[in-house]
Structure 1
Amino acid sequence: MSPQDGDDASLADDSEMALTGINMLLNNGYDEARALFEKYKNESPLMQAGYSFVYFMQALMSFEEEKLAEALKILQETEKKCEVSDGFVKSMKRKLSKKKKQSANSVGLEDKLQRQIIVADSLLYQSILTFTNQDIPSYMKGGWYLRKAWKIYEKLHKEINNIRNRQIQSKIQQMQASLPPTVNGNVSNSSNSSKEEVVDGNSNELSEQIVARLLGSVNFGYGTFQLCISIMPPKILKLIEFLGFEGDREAGLNALDFTSHSEDMKAPLATLGLLWYHTVLRPFFAVDGANGYSAGTSDAEAIIASKEKDFPNSSLFLFFRGRIHRLRVETDASITMYRRAFDEAKGQREIELMCLYEISWCNLMRLQWKDCLDGFGRLAEESKWSKAYYSYLRGICIGAMGELKEAHSILKEVPGQVKKKNNQIEAFVLRRGEKLKKQAPSQEFCRLLALELMFLWHAIPTCTEAELKPMLDVCDMQTDHKALHIKSLVEGAIFKELGQEDMAVAVSFYKLVYQDC
């Protein structure tokens, strides 16, 4: 679909146009979506919000400093523009001409609420981008953005829900007033109900459809907040609650679910948020317990099935299908879905790199070293997130193949590629790189280092029995006493996944690591 197809003459209003743009974006039409939002960004707050979100999403997936800075600038412009009381005059004229049945007050209230939601969204996105710097000043600044956003979300969520409840109450009163006096009580009561309905009707400025869309709009940020805060570690959660935030997982999930079924432009984004929670956050934070890695896959599968018609070939939805298969320990199906997602991305580099990483990681779990190299090699060259991490992965895979001289050459460069030592991943590869600089690692040790990464990323529970047993062979090959603690830790995790009958062996290996430390 081209931007011309999205001309406002063929769309009911700004909210429909904005939703069309987001659907374009998620249906692999990044360039078309950006063109549509850019064309109308100065005529509507919603189109300006969509325009800034496109840049935010690209920056978040790429981690490139230039794109992060550009997205921050555009988000700040959006925030400023939506705080100006007399902005977007053209948009208001268009709305007034299309909604002749609505009063000027109705449009004004809708616009006021929508702008406040956009301001909160802009602050939320700015906080996320600011946190990517991973230093104390950025955490403080990001926290300040978050607090401002949360206060707006909390206020608007309550306000819009109150409007909705008044509408429901008014409808109940209308139904009661329409009943015959013999059913509704005496004639006097019926008359009083009718009078109250008129008063409520005058104060009820927005249509039910608009209120439902606005509630969907605010629920996206409100639900995202509740959900993310609810999975924080207890110590951090106490600090967050002290700062005025609250986290209710069920409230967050319900809010995002409401948004995903609304007519707001963020409905597809809420769907992605739910998929991210069920396939990434739930297993990573062990929300369902240590062995509940696949617990969220049924929910994720149901969500994707409900949106199949709208996003049949979306690279992002195919990506999440790949996640579902991986969590279900279906590696072949997982790789197939990731490859389909890669093909459908059609040159969207950020999504291609996401898929390449997952494909390479699946091959790593199978100890197919050569098949990992293309993906990790491209990531090391093109990704701006952590060149050191991807170089480390590439180096140990080459070493695992027996090309020790080349592997040592790559691994020696890793410490110099580290940009942020306070980043846990980069701090880890820095320590490993410093040790490997002094002496070239053996082929067996490179293979063990790959298993160590699988342990750290909680990948061992998502391996099949056929994939786990060759890993034990790698552990058996280790002869260096200095590698004993890594070997024992990995062996313990593998035996644990092989079944209850091996749990005693797993415990003994964990004890060995504890004693060695």
Structure 2
Amino acid sequence: MAHVGNGATAEEEDCFEDAFDRIPAACQMDLHTAIQETQCALNLVLNNKFSEALDLLKPWWRDSMYHALGYSSILVMQATMTFEQRDIQTAMATIKEALHTCQRFRKRNSMVGSLSSLISKQSNLQEEEMHAEICYAECLLQKATLTFVQDENMISFIKGGIKIRTSYQIYKDCQNVMNVTQDLAGQSDSFRQFEGGVKLGIGSFNLMLSLLPQRILRLLEFIGFSGNREFGLSQLREGASSHSLRSILCALTLLFYNTYVSLILGTGEGNLVEAEALLEPYQHKYPKGSIILFYSARIATLRGNFEKARARYEECIGSQQEWKQIHHLCYWELMWTHSYQQEWTEAYRYADLLCKESRWSKAIYVYQKAAILSMMTEEEVKKTGEDVVELFRQVEGLKQRLAGKSIPTEKFAVRKSRRYKAANPVLLVVPALEMMYVWNGFTIVGKRADSTEALLVTIETAEEQLRNDPNPSEFHPDDSCLVQMLKGLCLKHLGRLLQAELCFTQVLSSERRIRYDHYLIPFTLYELGLLYKQQGDFTKAATYIENAKTNYKDYSMESRLHFRIHAALSSLKGSPVSTP
């Protein structure tokens, strides 16, 4: 048993459950106490006491594997929520140190397959070696998570995948150990904690790998990777329902998948019923926790309840002042909830706050602000004191590179803003709605018929202006196709499927006239495929989506579309008619 300053076991239990009472200072550290203190730190984080959590872990993070894992996990969580390069770099440096700490506890010249012999002997040292494997693998998985957040470029995923092959193999071998020693699960708390770590790792790996397009996954399968989405989800669900240190981490992984990944890199079919059920017990335990409030707001957004979402985001902002980056994440979401209802003045306010306060992507923020201003009346823009043309001209100079790569969304914004470089710029048509589509926002707006109808009115007004333009520019065909695609999306969500199909086919028939926005054709093929899927014509759906996948390349947001295509084709595999 670990020895704390006053040796009070009852206080340890209170600390484990709530982390509200005074936390005893440990003068020795064994595995049991390390897990308890890490649980205390996690509770502090979920109660917005981020610095206190780091202070608790810091004295032991170079000497205890769980303190090292907990310390790096907090910084990784901050980085993945803020998407700030500075946070990512700090987290990555900390993970490297944590890996060194964990390495010291691993079996020398470790071959993970020998863990089964360690379990049978059951000494404290051998228990530590088991946990060292899982902590080491978890730190490597954190590196993979940062790669995923850092850049959606395909090559980055390949490189990241190769780097974490060791982690994947450790998890697979640890899973084999767990499967042959299930009888220990009811006897040993240490083993249950080990089991929770295996389920988090195996589940996350399978889920992450299952998202990758087939052409990437084939390469990874060649070196031993494979991803099964349903198995990954089941492992995470089992982990989330267990009573281990990692239960909340499994739940948060599932929440992130259902509320972000499935929307941005998928077809927008996240399981909101599951997300609400996962969140519910933590809403009672951490009612003012900013992370819990944020996910509650995000679920409300995806439900189309924008008013409730905004109230929750505001509550999240007011819940803590230590991690300002969480405020920025709320500003981003508030900007969109107002944009969905075309409340452009309010949306502008949050875009402006992001420009002034956040360092994630100045190019995106400035472009987004300019795009929102473009939707406002001249009188409204005048009140802001902004020069819209000048804002668009700033975008290219703000572009940054992460891991040596340009950010795809920034590249898209730069390309669009180049229209404003000329002395007499050709104004973009509904640019804020175009960016809404890039982030799959029409799927969210589609939950609200009133908001969708209002967007359709705006789009049809732009369509009429283009049709009556007495002096069409070189961008006219591209702008017309964009408007038709967005119109088709609104009509689809309103259930007017035949009219939506006509809009999409009109875009496709104009392919040869498009000069700049070549992304419109493969994205429209994809949307038309989803429309046919909705109508039950799965063969036709697969044909159009495969066409987008196979016959187009080197266009804006190509990586993002390929992730969505992979998700769509995967969903079609279970349909009555198989995909080609």
Rounded to whole Å, the distance in 1 between the matches of 2:141 and 2:246 is 14
Q: Please state how far the C-alpha of 1:151 moved relative to its aligned partner.
A: 0.7
Q: How does 1:34-73 map to 2 (within 5 A)?
A: 34-73=54-93
Q: Any residues of structure 2 matched to 1:27-176 within 5 Å, and which?
A: 27-85=47-105, 105-130=122-147, 132=150, 139=157, 141-165=159-183, 167=184
The one of 394, 408, 418 equivalent to 1:413 is 394
Do the aligned partners of 1:315 and 1:345 also contact (CA within 8 Å) in 2? yes
Quick one: distance in 2 between partners of 1:440 and 1:107?
Answer: 75
Partner of 1:504: 498
Match in the other structure for 2:338: 363
**Aligned residues of 2:363 and 2:410 also touching (Cα < 8 A):** yes
Distance 2:137 2:83 in 1: 22
More helix by share: 1
TM-score (norm 2): 0.73
Shift in Å, 1:282: 3.0
1:384 aligns with 2:359: yes
CA distance in 2, matches of 1:303, 1:285: 22
DSSP-derived class of the 2:164 partner? helix
> Helix, strand or coil: the match of 1:477?
helix
Tell me the SS of whatever aligns to 1:254: helix
Q: Which residue of 2 aligns with 1:431?
A: 415
Write the distance in 2 (CA, Å) between the matches of 1:309 and 1:41: 30
1:261 aligned residue: 241
- Other-structure match for 1:372: 347
Range moving further from structure 2, 357-366 or 459-468: 459-468
2: CA distance between counterparts of 1:456 and 1:16?
43
1:7 to 2:25 alignment: yes
CA change 1:209–1:504 in 2 (3 A) is same
Q: Which whole-Å CA distance do the structure 1 matches of 2:73 and 2:24 have between them?
A: 18
Q: Distance in 2 between matches of 1:409 and 1:280?
A: 32
Structure 2 CA distance for partners of 1:3 and 1:76, relative to 1, 3 Å: farther
Contact 1:62 1:383 in 2 (8 A): no
Cα separation, 2, equivalents of 1:135 and 1:516: 29
- Determine whether 1:475 maps to 2:459: yes
Where 1:438 maps in the other structure, the secondary structure is coil
Query: By how many angstroms is 1:238 displaced?
Result: 2.4
Partner of 2:200: 220
Aligned counterparts of 1:107 and 1:514: Cα–Cα separation in 2: 66
Tell me which amino acid in the other structure corresponds to 2:161.
G
Of residues 291, 298, 305, the one that matches 1:323 is 298
1:491 matched to which residue of 2?
Answer: 487
> Contact 1:15/1:264 (CA < 8 Å) preserved in 2?
no
The CA distance in 1 between the partners of 2:396 and 2:350, in whole Å, is 21
Aligned residue in 1 for 2:323: 348
- Is the CA contact (8 Å cut-off) linking 2:355 and 2:365 kept in structure 1? yes
- Counterpart of 2:421, as a letter, is K
Alpha-carbon contact 1:128-1:142 (below 8 Å) kept: no
The match for 1:516 is 510
- 3-state SS in 2 of match to 1:232: coil
CA distance change for structure 1 residues 352 and 272 in 2, over 3 Å: closer, same or farther? Answer: same
Q: Normalised by the size of structure 1, how large is the TM-score?
A: 0.81
Mapping 1:304-323, distance limit 5 Å: 304-323=279-298
Tell me how far 1:512 sits from its aligned partner: 1.4
**Within 2, Cα distance between the matches of 1:412 and 1:210?**
58
Q: Cα distance, 1:301 vs. partner?
A: 0.9
Aligned-residue sequence identity (percent) comes to 25
Distance in 2 between the 1:467 and 1:487 partners?
17
CA distance in 1, matches of 2:101, 2:28: 26
Moved more, 475-484 or 109-118: 475-484
Gaps of 5+ in 1: 88-101, 172-206
* Structure label with greater radius of gyration: 1
Q: CA deviation at 1:299?
A: 0.8
User: In structure 1, the residue corresponding to 2:283 is in which secondary structure?
Assistant: coil
Output the aligned Cα RMSD: 2.8
1:57 partner amino acid: M
Instruction: Provide the secondary structure at the position in 2 that maps to 1:367.
Output: coil
Q: Is the 8 A contact 1:134 1:422 kept in 2?
A: no
